[in-house]
Structures are given as C-alpha cells and as structure tokens.
Structure 1
Amino acid sequence: MIRIKARAPTRRGSVRKPDRRPLCRALTLGLPTVWGALAVTYKLACPLAQHDGTGARIATSAVFFAVGTGLIVHVRRTLLRELRQARRVAGAAQSVLLRPPPPRLDGLSVAAAQLSADRGAVIGGDLYEAVATEHGVRVVMGDVRGHGLSAIGTVAAVLGSFREAVHDEPELARVVRRLERALARHLRERARAEHPAGGLDPDQPVAEEFVTVLLLEIARDGEIRALNCGHPWPYLLSGTGVVPLTRADPLPPLGPFPLPPDLPATHCGHLRPGETLVLYTDGAEDARDARGRFFSLPTVLAEAVRDHSVRPQTLLRRVFTAVLRHTGGTPTDDIALLVLRNDRRPDPWTTRANADGQATAV
C-alpha cells in the first residue's frame, strides 16, 4: 500500500519556509558531542596537558571547566525550551477543557478562573462551566479528588457529559444522572487500562476517586434551583452582606456510592438584580497560612461588598490576591472560582406585584 502525505496548497509564487526542526535536532545532539570531543582532544593531543606542572594543571582545569560550563548552559537552554513548549501545550489543553465563559450570559455577568496547586501548571482537578439553555442558565462547579495531570481525564469526562446533558435534559436530576454514568464509565475504562490482567485493586486511587458537583439553574425571573453532590454551597452577595445560598444538606459526591433514587432539586430563592453568586471549590476555604490558620473567604467577600467591588473580574482578582498573600504564594490545593452577577433589569410588573402583595399582607 502506498500512502501519499497531503500538504497544504500554497499560493503561486510564494516561497515555502524551510523546515528547521532537523537543524535544531542536529544542534541539540551535536553541541554536546563537539564539547566532549574538544575536551578529549585536548587531554590526549595537547602537549601542555601531558605536563604535571602547576601551570599545566591550571590550564587543564580551565579547559574542562569551560567544557562543563558549556554543557550545563546548553542543557539548561534545552530544558527551558521544552518547559515553554509544555506550558504552551498545557495552555491550549486548558482553553479546550476549561473554556473561559463569556463575559455576559443571558443578562448575567460571568467570570471564572482557576489557581492550580502544582507549580507551573495551568490545569488542575477543578471544573466549571456556565451555559445558557432553554431551561435557563445552568452552571456546574466541581472538584475531582486530587489535582494536577492525574485528574484531567476525570474533569474531561464530567465536563463533556455536562455540556451535552444541559441542553437535552429538562430536569437537573437527569443531568446529574448523566454525570454519574459518565464518571462510572470513565473509572471503568481507567481500571481496565491500569489493571489489564483483570480486577481493580481497592487500594488503587481509581477505586477511591470521587467528584463533588454543584449544579445550579437560574431562570429568567432569577429563581435558583440547585442539586448539590458533596460540594460547598456558594455565597450570595447582596446589599445586606454575604450569606450562604442555602444551608440544606448536600447529597453524597459522585463516585463512591450510588445516588438515591429520588433527587429533588433544592429551591434557593431568587438572584435579584444587582446580587452576585460566588461558586468556589474547597481549596479556597482550606488554604492555610504558615501558622495553620484557614483562609476566610466570607471576610474577603464582605470587604468587596463594602468597597462596592462586586464586578466579577474585580472580585476574582481580589480573592486570588488574598489567597496568595495568605498562603505565601504556595496553595496546597487547586482553587476555582466562578462569579455570577445578575445585571438584568428588574421587571416593573413583577416589582409592582410584589409590592402589592406585601401591602395586602400588611
């Protein structure tokens, strides 16, 4: 069989740029060889290297020092180049896996960001997404057990299922069922890949892996419905301060135990115009300083409300700056934040109806 490699067509008269990759590979392998050959040649062929005098020893030491320094500099440059390439690849993977949400989504201002616990990494074990659907704006915030590269596959499985289910399923309970099945399928595939001989060792991380997931649905009138599988409840920022969205008991996380057959959504009131929701992963409140004191996320959010700094992007910067200052720049767990502010104009008919109802009740 003959394979023909297709090449992209070029415009007539254009000059194709030469491929420099073979030259780079030759330089990468050739420079250390040249340095080593120079050192060996000097030792064997140079008459000065055969003398035992002090001057000869100093000259020999200088030659080998120069050779060693050249090799170290070359290796360092090669490693830095590979590190920059790896970061570019990781950044591209993050842009596909954790897509930045649009700044506005059906009247809501949205901002999200993640801080990875792995130094130099841009991908962790946290996941988030906000999607406008015919059922309302649906949001997911989750946290995979562990962090770094080992959690990327699980994040991809859960997010991929969510992005399909939110448009297809009218009820949040059915969305959660889809996420549960996607996670179970992913863990089975990992088990077969890591233990091809058969059987999953219960002591392996796959057997203990779980994902906390929070699903929110914000209707056009601001009504919030939620399903929480082991995740922290978000904070509601309003003119009166900072309070948890609700104090209802969450369901168990996805993974270790099957969910109960009945999954009623929790009604969490309304997100009124001007109010803000802050979703976060537990890495934010579990962050500690050098003395072991936990980071106080509600305090930072309350200060932002007092300073009227509730724009989503501004809020993200303030929280991440405070976390890095609290931990000395080295958080021990991934941290993800997603901020939603209701910028919709209040409905005058609804406002008047609420006012009339309150007047009647009085």
Structure 2
Amino acid sequence: MIRTRAARFRRGIVFVLPGLWVLAVVLWELLSPLGTQFIELLAATPAIACAGTGRRQCVLLGGACALLALVPPGASGRAAVSGRIGTCGAVLAVVAASYLISGRTRRLTGELERAREVAITAQTVLLRPLPPRLDGIALASRHVSAGEGALVGGDLYDALGTRYGVRVLMGDVRGHGLPALGTAAALLGSFRDAAHDEARLPDVLRRLERALHRHLYERDQRQPAGAGGDRSDAEEFATVLLLEVRAEGEVVALNCGHPWPHRLSGDPDGDPARGPGPAVLAPGDPLPPLGVFPLPAELSPLPLTRLLPGDVLVLHTDGVEDARDATGAFFPLAGALAEAARGAPPALATLVARVQAALLRHTGGPVTDDFALLALRNDRGPGPPAASRPPRALVAGP
C-alpha cells in the first residue's frame, strides 16, 4: 500500500512538472526587476513534458509555450519581437524533436516489455511451479535469482509422481543468473524423462550425468574457436540431490556434493528421539559434484529417513546457508526453521515464505547468489497410498 501511494505521488509530480515550469518562467519574466528576458527558457518545457509523461502533453504544452513566446506581456519593439519569434521557433523545434524521440522511446519500451514477457514465460516453463500436492506429499518452494532481470538461474528443482514413488531433484549449477540457464534446462529436461523411465534411482543419476556432458559438449561446439580461450568441462559442474519417497514414507537419496536436507518432526511428542527441532539428515559422505569425476560403477541409494505423517523435509541450495549479513555472519538456517515452525504447525507455503523472509532480512539487501528452498510434507494416511499411475506411453501392452 505504501509503495502504491508513493508511485502515485511520483506520477502526479511528473504530470504537473511541465506546467509548473511554464508558470515559473512566465512569473519570472513578469516580476524580474532587471527586465531580463527569461522567456527563452520555455523551450525546455516540451522536452520535460515528453520525458515525464508522453507525446500528447508534449504537443499541447509546446503549442502553449510557442504562443506565450510570441505574445507575452512585457517589453516590445523590433528587437524584442525578433527575439520572441526566434524563441517561438526554438520551442517548435524542441517540440518536433521531443515528439520524435518520445515516439522512439515508446516503441523501444514496448519491445522491451514484450521481450520481458517472453523471458518470464520461458523461465517459468523451465522452473515450473510445483503442484501443492503430489501423491499424498504436500509441496512448497521458493526461489530467488541473483542475476539482474532473471527469475531463475543456476538453482533447479522439480518433483514428479512416478510408478516408483515421488522423485525429487534439487540441484545447483556452477554460476548463477542467465548464463547458468542452459545447464539447468539440460538437467531438468533429463530428470523429467528419466524419473519416469528408470526403475532405479542410480540410473536416473547416470542419465543426468550424460545430459550434463552432452550439453557442455554441444555448447562448446557452438562456441567460436578462440572466443573463450581454452575451454575445459572440468570447470563446469553441478551439485545434485535426488530423493525418492516410497509408499510407506521411506526416503532414499543420492547426493552429489549438495547440502543435505533438514527434517522437522510433525509429532515430536510421539518419538522423543526425533526431537521437536530441525535436524540435518546426513546418512553419509556425498559423492563429488556431478561433472567433476565420473560416477562410480556401483551406486546404491542411501536410506535417508522415514517420513511419518506430518513430517517435513526442507531441501535447499548452498546459497541459503552461505548467505551473509553485513558483519559476514552466515545465515542460521536451523534457527530460522525452528522459528518459522514455532507454535501451531503452519501451512507448508507459509513455512517456506517465513524462511525466505528471514534470509532476506539477514542479508539486508540483494542476494549475491541464487538460492532455492523446497519443502515436502507427508500428508498420507496411516496406510500406504495407491501407487502412482504412469503415463499411458509408459505402460506396456494395449
């Protein structure tokens, strides 16, 4: 509300500014005790009108200023009349120039707005909104890009309901902003196919690895020789966390250099060992980031946890825990999660929004790295849910 009022006030000031300029120049001309000619200053009015409002007011005020320059009260005589005719010509010249410049500016602004709409649509398709519920698992996510003008960047996430369970991807591509979009798109596209096609989670990860290398190879082939010096895929990598939530709440994971998630117990009184506060789930050392070294020949998903009804898993990228305040202190994610979940259990979207707001308050300004948050909660009943139905194209037989 405050921002809306401030914007309206600024628009009002811009609208009346040309009129105030004309009034000030005329009064100055009439009241000047030295008889100095100030009417030439009217030539600036059309430029002010065009810069602040638009072409129609530019023409109207320009015409009025031209008339005032011809027939103002004050001194007369041949020299004065010649000077006023010259001033009138200058006003009309400024009107014409300002009119043309304003038209070009409006066209460029329109093209920029259309390009922005296309970019927003493309980025929304890339990092599409998650459904609020997927096979009994509630979902909520937030993402902030550090790249100017970008909605998404190097952070990526998705969740899909498959015949094998709910599969979740959280990743972070090296770099941020628009330059990392291509790599993020390659990984997301591969995951959206492999999650349905591959029965084993390690095979999904191998598909992601192949997609990353293929994208980097094709990108390098498109880059002109010598444009970027020595190109090395060793400098390109992505951290990836793959989760699979099975029918009875069992969660298994494969982690390539990504931060482990936090768990919030939905029923802390039922199991004292789980505790009421957030706990980091780290069942083992993660693998190296994807693309740094080849994946090992044998891959086995690690048992992460069992999500009881009401339990919440919070996944995040390293931009969350690496965010710093003015003193250099890191963002306390565990404390922010505990504060956000205090009291009555909030809605999942509210929980994520509170953590994001706490992070932005901590940094006190624009973030320097992309960050993403994804929370999932087990809303299933006591019994296992029905298995997800695969797409028709994936079902064998008629």
Q: 1:151 aligns with which of 172, 180, 192?
A: 180
Question: Structure 1 stretch 294-303 or stretch 76-85: which is displaced more?
Answer: 76-85
Name the CA distance, whole Å, in 1 between partners of 2:185 and 2:308.
Answer: 33
SS of residue paired to 2:192: helix
Percent identity of equivalent pairs: 54
Q: 1:295 aligns with which of 306, 331, 334?
A: 331
> What residue in structure 2 maps to residue 282 of structure 1?
318
> What residue in structure 1 maps to residue 240 of structure 2?
213
Cα distance change, pair 116–189 in 1 and its aligned pair in 2 (3 A): same
Name the CA distance, whole Å, in 2 between partners of 1:101 and 1:135.
Answer: 19
| Residue 269 of structure 1, CA deviation | 2.1
Match of 1:225, as an amino acid?
V
Root-mean-square deviation (CA), in Å? 3.0
> What residue in structure 2 maps to residue 187 of structure 1?
216
Matches within 5 A, 1:96-245: 96-196=125-225, 201-202=229-230, 204=231, 206-238=233-265, 239=268, 240-245=276-281
| Residue 62 of structure 1, CA deviation | 4.6
Cα distance change, pair 58–324 in 1 and its aligned pair in 2 (3 A): farther
Q: Which runs of 5+ in 1 are unaligned?
A: 1-30, 43-49, 349-362
Cα distance change, pair 60–288 in 1 and its aligned pair in 2 (3 A): farther
Cα distance change, pair 309–126 in 1 and its aligned pair in 2 (3 A): same
2:289 paired with 1:253:
yes
Name the CA distance, whole Å, in 1 between partners of 2:322 and 2:83.
Answer: 62
The answer (yes or no) to whether the contact 2:187–2:212 under 8 Å persists in 1 is yes
Name the CA distance, whole Å, in 2 between partners of 1:340 and 1:81.
Answer: 40
Over residues 264-314 of structure 1, what are the superposed CA-to-partner deviations in whole Å (9 max), with x where a residue is unaligned?
211112011111011111111112222322222211110112133542211
> What residue in structure 2 maps to residue 3 of structure 1?
none
Q: TM-score, normalised by structure 2?
A: 0.68
Over residues 174-212 of structure 1, what are the superposed CA-to-partner deviations in whole Å (9 max), with x where a residue is unaligned?
111111011111111011111458x9954x475511111
> What residue in structure 2 maps to residue 338 of structure 1?
374
Q: Which runs of 5+ in 2 are unaligned?
A: 1-54, 67-78, 269-275, 385-398
Q: Which structure has the larger Rg over C-alpha atoms?
A: 2
Name the CA distance, whole Å, in 2 between partners of 1:284 and 1:205.
Answer: 28
| Residue 119 of structure 1, CA deviation | 2.8
> What residue in structure 2 maps to residue 15 of structure 1?
none
The answer (yes or no) to whether the contact 1:87–1:121 under 8 Å persists in 2 is no
| Residue 94 of structure 1, CA deviation | 2.3
Q: TM-score, normalised by structure 1?
A: 0.75
| Residue 323 of structure 1, CA deviation | 2.2
